[in-house]
Amino acid sequence: MNKPPGPLIPPAPPPRRPIDAGWRQWIAEQRLRNCTPESMLGTMTSAGLDSAEAAAALAQVESDPVFAAARRMQQLQRKLESVVANLQQVWELDPRYAEVERIPEPDLETFLQRYVRGCRPVVLTGVTSDWPALQRWSPADLKARFGHLEVEVQQERNADPKFEENKLDHRHKVRLADFVDRVLAGGPTNDYYMTANNEVLRRPEFAPLLADIGTLPRVCDRSRLAELSSFWFGPAGTVTPLHHDTLMLFHTQIVGRKRWRFVSPLQTPRLYNHHNVFSAVDLDRPDFHRHPEAAGVRVLDVVAGPGDTVFLPLGWWHQVSALDTSLGFSYSNLAVPNHYVYQNPDIRNW
């Protein structure tokens, strides 16, 4: 005779997630960002944390002496942020602030005063009037003169959202002739690019490229050109994401056009600079829900074509996009102090 079925045993409740050190750090960070405890409690319970324990942890952080110390340091940080924000407002009083000037090279003192010490980007026209590179350089010329040589390029960039931060992982050695063929056949793409990291201008085999460079801007020291210059080559569609350099430089466009977008260094607190010299903001596809502070940033925009020389002043953020197959030459051999130290953040998971 069969026994009647016993009472159903309810399934055991899922184990509660502990409020560990990672969650406590998250609580402190969100409060420092002025997120409300109510919104944070919703996030925590949605993640499987016990509501009462989460509420207690939220209350506890406000009396934590370590968090109180962080609040003090935050006051100092906000003072600095307000100082640079006010200076930015003063800069923007200039009715031509949003314009990147295109001018013939001025005399040395004017250039130093307005653009170096005045910290303003500018496009110089006519600097390259005697450069053999303007008549000679082309993908075909590269292939004919240097195609047998091996060079370093970046590849497989499209699969990595942080391709520039991880650029060392994308290094590949290729014959230059093969890379030229790939650029010409592949159409617009950001997947491969021969960037400044290739260091070809430090190699004696590529010395003829330097011989194609004529008169430099007056502020430059010609004797240091070989050690402080870089060569760029890639298809339309290559992008250098928003970042800042740690020195001043010139970039001369030889073949094709590039779009340069600049953001003042005084707006750094609004650019989500959590790692090194890189911004999390993409000017092509800004996400103002994720990066709301970036919505008010003033962006300067200019296109540089063959023969144009862009001056990048100290600390200016820039994002650069190639509109055509592009050959460029950059150099930082300014005969003025050009070594600066930045205390860069190293927060990779924010």
Per CATH, is 101-331 categorized as 2.60.120.650? Answer: yes
Going across the sheet that includes 239-244, the strands are 239-244, 317-322, 258-263, 300-304
Share of the chain above pLDDT 90, in %: 93
What's the pLDDT score for residue 350?
80
The three state secondary structure string of the chain is CCCCCCCCCCCCCCCCECCCHHHHHHHHHHHHCCCCHHHHHHHHHHCCECHHHHHHHHHHHHCCHHHHHHHHHHHHHHHHHHHHHHHHHHHCCCCCCCCCEEEECCCHHHHHHHHHCCCCCEEEECCCCCCHHHHHCCHHHHHHHHCCCEEEEECCCCCCCCCCCCHHHHEEEEEHHHHHHHHHHHCCCCCCEECHHHCHHHCHHHHHHHHCCCCCCCCECHHHCCCCEEEEEECCCCEEEEEECCCCEEEEEEECCEEEEEECHHHHHHCCCCECCECCCCCCCCCCCCCHHHHHCCCEEEEECCCCEEEECCCCEEEEEECCCEEEEEECCECCCCCCCCCCCECCCC
276-286 confidence digits (pLDDT tens): 999 999 999 99
155-184 confidence digits (pLDDT tens): 999 999 999 999 999 999 999 999 999 999
pLDDT tier, 321 (very low <50, low <70, confident <90, very high otherwise):
very high
Q: Which of 334, 23, 348 has the alpha carbon at shortest distance from 162?
A: 348
As a whole number of angstroms, the longest Cα–Cα distance in the chain is 109
Domain ranges of the chain: 21-63, 101-331
187-240 confidence digits (pLDDT tens): 999 999 999 989 999 999 999 999 999 999 999 999 999 999 999 999 999 999
**9, pLDDT greater than 80:** no
| 17 compared with 323, residue with greater pLDDT | 323
Is the separation of the CB atoms in 257 and 310 below 8 Å? no
